[in-house]
Structure 1
Amino acid sequence: MLPFLLLASCSYKEETREIGHKGKARINPFLAAERFLAEYDFEIESKSGWPDLEDEVSLVIIPASAISARGYTDDLDQWANYQGGHVVVLLSYGESYLSDWGISDFSGLDEADDLADPFTEWMGELGVEFEFDAGEDNDPLTVEKLDFLGEEFEVFMEAKVCPLDVDDEAVMIRSVEHGEGRVTVIADARPFRNRWIGDYDHAALLLALEDAAPYEGTTAFVRNVSLSFFGLLWGRAWPAVIALILLVIFWLWKSLPRFGPLDSQESTAQARAYDHHLEALGDFHWRLDHAEGLLRPLRDALIERAQRLALTSGHREGDVFQLIAERSGISRERAERAMTFEKSKDAGTFTRLVADLQTIHLSIP
């Protein structure tokens, strides 16, 4: 009765928790931005690998973490300089593996080490420097108004690593002309992600970036060029990886055989004696053909010796088995059987045959 009274006094509360997008939008954080540009008849290309800059690509939107090698910076530099392309680099939150609903507080770039050396060197060649720990009291720098190429946009961005303008002031966006093209660096990529593209003037800013390209063409969204599965695994679960590696090393140390025997620990009693080897060899021949292969050479040798004895004793035309029987002291039937019987059915018969062959061997010179 008491359990029913306790259950009757219980209550429950329903709570709805927002976990984010499903399907393609969960994999591609810029899916809404791509579809928005497609409505304006822009051709969109979205891929995880490095874009083919030889195609009709006019705009490349790429996270800074993907530009991790000198070869990448050289490709982008030559493409923008000589082919008139527009490179938009996203410093923070440009990676597709990040979840829009998993960003509860600021977790973007914090230190200079978060940017690859080839990327910062390339930016230095373009005259773009960075300020780290931007903001006040260790809080990220936050802006709500943004000026881009003479247009003002209402946005929400925050970052600790920001590009510097010509007056060495930290800004959220810095765009420089480079040869025939343009390079734009944006500190915070969240305004272009699925969750926030519809807020403020974020979509209008994206359209302005598209219009800033020197010529019309395909817009390429690049995702996770430099992030491999093992890199993601190490970045998110390195304690578990280290524990697994140590466990495998311990298992190998425990299970693998040693490189050699421990002679000092081996006792002489474990060594196989000579009679054990003979026993094993005899068992092999018995299972093979009842030792017929061992008896055949002996019989051939005895026949040859018996025939030579018959020639020297004047019994050339005589019965060789009778001669063997007279010399060995056994009956002719036993002598013939020992010299011609092919296979023994049991060990007893085989033992008698071998005994008679031994007697014949000792009696014939």
Structure 2
Amino acid sequence: MKWLLMLFPLLVLASCSYEETTRETGHKGKARINPYLAAERFLSEFDYEVENQSGWPELSGQVSMVMVPASSLTARGYVKELGDWTRRGGHTVVLLSHGEAYLNDWRKGGFNPFRTKDDFPEPFTEWMEELDLELEQTSRQDDDKTTAEKVEFLGQEYEVFMESALIPLDEQGEAKMVRSIAYGGGRLTLVADARPFRNRWIGDYDHAALLLAMEESSPYVGRTIFIRNVSLSFWKLLWSRAWPAMIALILLVVFWLWKNLPRFGPLDSREAVGTTRAYDHHLEALGDFHWRLDRAEGLLRPLRDSIIERAHRLALTSGHRDADVFQLMAERAGISRERAQRAMTFERSKDQGAFNRLVADLQTIHLSIP
């Protein structure tokens, strides 16, 4: 029977089959961290100086174009600085969707927090309202789309792959995947979908040509900066994806604090803080501790050892070396031998009354032996 039990799993495993599948996981190394690495190297081939920064850049006349995700414009100071630099002759390209560095281009239906106009940072929304630039919310968010379409930029058409839930509108209210306007002495360009400029798609259709056209349209001559820093807070991300669990956790913490904290607020002023206890109170507390610990056996042991030592010395000096030490104690104290033996050997008293009689006999024996 034992052999059959061992053979059965082998027979089951022998009848199994497996299937090998290949799943594309994407780039490795620098290309996995920087989604615009291919775009930067492409522009470098045309002798453009390109930088990639994970924080807010220092904008000056030596910067020609800045490509920034809309999610990074979370502070009014950033928006004001970017607007002033653009009016002086810079070219700002705002990527409305899929511009964040943390997005995985090989994960279908990847998390994209900006699907409605209300999802954008408030400073960026105020900037768009100030410029009378409107965004249309559509259902054109299709990760399975494989066909390209014509996109116009400064009078030139480019065949690109773009899909976004938010699309800029032109002066006639028509949706444009790429909307570019003159802004002071510079240029502001809104791109609905940043995927054509990311590593996975930069080589498809006319994506690279569109990027080069944006670079060449920059009034300034200088560096191009890709900002890949995403200012989406971890706590905002956690709240948007797991708010029920967060509420449950907060309630659990509040309940635990209410249950375990000793008190809320200051001590009651009516309670005496500096009460001085008398010496007998300390003795009573100490005795109660020893009684609960081992029925005060620890207190009796030193006294018993002292009595035994003196009783043996008394027997030797009186010439009764082999005498019964308990009988000697009983004769000296004037009590019976049973009481003397009990006082010297009994370990744990059942109640305080028996303990008091035991201590009384020990005290009598202690005083009777020199």
The answer as to 2:40 corresponding to 1:21 is: no
Distance in 2 (CA, whole Å) between partners of 1:70 and 1:262 is 47
Indicate how the Cα distance of structure 1 residues 260 and 230 shifts in structure 2: closer, same or farther if over 3 A, else same: closer
Distance in 1 (CA, whole Å) between partners of 2:266 and 2:162 is 68
Quick one: which of 198, 204, 219 aligns to 1:214?
219
The answer as to 2:186 corresponding to 1:172 is: no
- The residue that corresponds to 1:75 in the other structure is 81
Post-superposition shift, 1:259? 4.1
- TM-superposition CA deviations, 1:22-78 (whole Å, max 9, x none): 332222221221222222222222122211113621101011121233222211111
The answer as to 2:129 corresponding to 1:128 is: no
Matches within 5 A, 1:1-365: 1-54=7-60, 56-82=62-88, 84-104=89-109, 109-133=114-138, 144-259=149-264, 275-277=280-282
Distance in 2 (CA, whole Å) between partners of 1:260 and 1:126 is 53
Indicate how the Cα distance of structure 1 residues 79 and 20 shifts in structure 2: closer, same or farther if over 3 A, else same: same
Indicate how the Cα distance of structure 1 residues 279 and 160 shifts in structure 2: closer, same or farther if over 3 A, else same: closer
> What are structure 1's unaligned runs of at least 5 residues?
264-270, 282-365
Indicate how the Cα distance of structure 1 residues 32 and 115 shifts in structure 2: closer, same or farther if over 3 A, else same: same
* Residue type at the aligned position of 1:251: W
Post-superposition shift, 1:218? 0.9
235-244 or 202-211, which moves further after superposition?
235-244
Indicate how the Cα distance of structure 1 residues 123 and 259 shifts in structure 2: closer, same or farther if over 3 A, else same: closer
> Conserved in 2, the CA contact under 8 Å of 1:64 and 1:91?
yes
Indicate how the Cα distance of structure 1 residues 77 and 100 shifts in structure 2: closer, same or farther if over 3 A, else same: same
> Conserved in 1, the CA contact under 8 Å of 2:103 and 2:112?
no
Indicate how the Cα distance of structure 1 residues 235 and 24 shifts in structure 2: closer, same or farther if over 3 A, else same: farther
Post-superposition shift, 1:229? 3.2
Post-superposition shift, 1:103? 3.9
Post-superposition shift, 1:262? 11
| 3-state SS in 1 of match to 2:161 | strand
> Conserved in 2, the CA contact under 8 Å of 1:108 and 1:160?
no
> Conserved in 2, the CA contact under 8 Å of 1:146 and 1:155?
yes
Post-superposition shift, 1:274? 5.3
Indicate how the Cα distance of structure 1 residues 215 and 260 shifts in structure 2: closer, same or farther if over 3 A, else same: closer
Q: Could you say what the CA RMSD is over the residues aligned between the two structures, in angstroms? A: 3.2
Distance in 2 (CA, whole Å) between partners of 1:21 and 1:69 is 32
Distance in 2 (CA, whole Å) between partners of 1:114 and 1:126 is 19
> Conserved in 2, the CA contact under 8 Å of 1:157 and 1:172?
yes
Post-superposition shift, 1:81? 0.7
Distance in 2 (CA, whole Å) between partners of 1:52 and 1:13 is 53
Post-superposition shift, 1:107? 5.0
* Residue type at the aligned position of 1:199: D
When the two structures are superposed, what TM-score results if normalisation uses the length of structure 1? 0.66
Post-superposition shift, 1:111? 2.0
| 3-state SS in 2 of match to 1:184 | strand
Distance in 1 (CA, whole Å) between partners of 2:76 and 2:31 is 32
Q: How many residues align?
A: 271
- TM-superposition CA deviations, 1:247-267 (whole Å, max 9, x none): 43333333322248999xxxx
| 3-state SS in 2 of match to 1:159 | coil
> What are structure 2's unaligned runs of at least 5 residues?
1-6, 269-275, 287-370
219-228 or 70-79, which moves further after superposition?
219-228
Distance in 2 (CA, whole Å) between partners of 1:257 and 1:47 is 51
> Conserved in 1, the CA contact under 8 Å of 2:62 and 2:220?
no
- TM-superposition CA deviations, 1:151-206 (whole Å, max 9, x none): 22111111221111122101101100111100000111111111111111111111
Distance in 1 (CA, whole Å) between partners of 2:32 and 2:236 is 20
84-93 or 17-26, which moves further after superposition?
17-26
| 3-state SS in 1 of match to 2:258 | helix
